[in-house]
Chains A and B, each alone.
Chain A
Amino acid sequence: MAQDLRERLREVPIPDEHGARERGWRVVSAAYADRRPAAQPVRIPVRLAVAVGLAALILALVLTPAGAKVVDLVRDAVKPNAKEATPLTSLPAEGDLLVDSSQGPWVVHRDGSQRLLGDYRQASWSPHGYFAAVTNAHQLLAVEPDGTVHWSLNRPHPSDPRWLPNTGYRIAYRTGSSMRVVAGDGTGDHLVDPNVAPTPPAWAAPLPAAKMTGGKGEYVLALAKPDGSVEEVNAESGRSLWRTAPGPVPKVLDWSADGSWLAALSPTRLRLFTAYGDPVRTVRLPRGMRATDGAFARTGRSFAVTATERTAHGRRSEALILPLGARNPQPRALLADPGTFSGLAWSPDGGWLLVAWPDADAWLFVRPEHPGHVDTVGSITEQFDPSAASSGSAEFPAPAGWCCTVAGAG
């Protein structure tokens, strides 16, 4: 009885145990920072003491005006080691960020300058950022980063355009339940599959070349079927190359950069397949958490996920890194906050992860290798859609891609 009881007491599930621990640490560390340490018997050089004193004074002024208030603030939202939210005046890494807003897609450059592409939606970068594929109610368009329309194609309700990596010779997109493909110059539009799930397609990465091109220079595309299976098809003929077993319909399909793994992220699980459609593993998210977005890291051996759960106090979200290369993957929490994390984007160099946080009207830039370091950029809605922000009707600006890995190439 005693041993059994011991084990069972240790195994009793506690609601939101992990979240409680991380919230607790924020409160405790904030209180610790606010505490006045006892005098130490060590002699400290005067200049060092002055510097430390000044730093402590600045910290006290900036971070901890009052212990209780700090605790409340920390509990409410603010990130550990996060700087105060600032306007978006620059990006922390090289590349241009594509942002979907209710006004239309914006291009944000490294220096913080930004340009509205037009009254479009659902933007997607070409492989080297020379163009963006955008849609409106009845057109698929390729536009240059200054907004110049390169070409357009009239189709009913096009959505989720995705450009073929590296060469950009093809664009896949959906219209209703159909998957279609058009050449990168707007010609040769054709139906690939008349019955797909509402999931953005994923072009197979270019390596290993023989497999990714079907061995015959074919372009191959992964798409989700309504029964939740994932199918790889020849993008020219629509011929099926392989198809997985049915499962939950994925929200995200993403190939690892080296083309060896395909990830299918559904709200509750991540299914990982080889380039030949063989299941590698299925990783179920923590109970109660539902994925909102996800993407392979540049290394291709870990996968970033934003996920949200309902708690007694509302919603809370986490940004997690799943190290898929490990035999026993231990997820690593980068961020945990009240509200919803609605999307994410990796920087081109893979050093930064941008997480969208609508509840705080903020974007969080976090370095997965230095998770304590979080840059918080605030007033995002106002920055990308001032009129809608004042009326409260704006959709939260979402990162739609951060380009490019090869600056100037292409």
Chain B
Amino acid sequence: MTAAEKLECRECGAEYPLEALYVCERCFGPLEVAYRREPIADLAGLKRRIQGGPQNIWRYSDFLPLAGGPPGPSSRLASRSGLPAGCTPLIRADRLAQRLGLGEVWVKNDAANPTHSFKDRVVSVAAARARELGYEVIACASTGNLANSVAAHGAALGMDSYVFIPADLEEPKVLATGVYGTHLVAVRGTYDDVNRLCTQISAEREWAFVNVNLRPYYAEGSKTLAFEIAEQLGWETPDRCVVPVASGSLYTKIAKGFEEWLELGLVTGDLPTMNGAQAQGCSPVATAFAAGHDVCRPVRPDTIAKSLAIGNPADGPYALDLARRTGGAIDAVSDDEIRAGIALLAQTTGIFTETAGGVTTAVLAKLAERGDIDPGERVVLFVTGEGLKTLDAVRGTFTTYEIDPSVEAFAAAAADAVSA
């Protein structure tokens, strides 16, 4: 039906075998997994099979680049293998929609993954493929969420792991990585320095760097967000998605997921309008979008949204192209708007997001204010990580009343709170 067939250069179309390769030797372009597809006669049967699959991303294994199908003793038992990701809630957010004057808003809460970010999806696929290719060590360059995920997947799968992070990362992300017993390397430099270092190390060691030499497989994992949303909406695509942009991989692969299913006729609707969201302190893609450029000029990040602090985005050109061809945009918001976005989401939905979700919520608010969103649109807001990982962002944003344990003390504080 569908099966990963080869790697293909996105720039020049050169073909490569399904190995740990990520760069085209001919033109230096990025490699992407290409699938052999045959028309599906029994769409209803395929839908039933997906619905009857495991409650994790392996229900979509027909559309993922593993040679041996879903990992685990059998596909039925795949949910018991490794650290299963996905099948996270899609929540209708009427109070948020009302606050922003919008018709229909849904929140895809991908903080509800094993290590509390969407990275578990991509690492699941990359780690499974690494095993198929015979690797014993997984590794990554990370802004934090990926670090948590690679360390945890290494532990779950019994693989050794090496995690490289910028030395100034938020403490919760460092602690939530080290606990899994990984080799944690804090690099004095920006994420882009870490990424350069890992690109160099990956050439020297027989390791599966999930976002370097395994990146074509890793990136495919993000498609499962699109599959899940389409399934959760009753096999329909939403009208618009608001997605965080760091390297641009997640943003472009979500669209690829929708496109693959639209092409097969598995879902109804159109490719959604794709809105990308960046922090102003690291907005190379938003800047290029506004200027009409088709490549990004790298920047040095300075933002509280550290999980999006990639100054040199690998998929920048493709993100720009996607925004333009879907009638979307790439917008950037300030650190204060990000903090306000975190509070708005928390106070209207009960979902506490890390800074990246503050970025998407703030961009949604900006689009609403600008009048870009039609009241009839069904919008999906992407929350890709957990608020407990970036607690500094909300410190000092509310008042706590500390009182003695007496009714009088409480009454005084309550009166004070009312007058405040």
A-B complex is real: no
Chain B positions within 8 Å of A, measured between CB atoms, are: none
Task: Please list the residues of chain A having a beta carbon within 8 angstroms of any beta carbon in chain B.
Answer: none
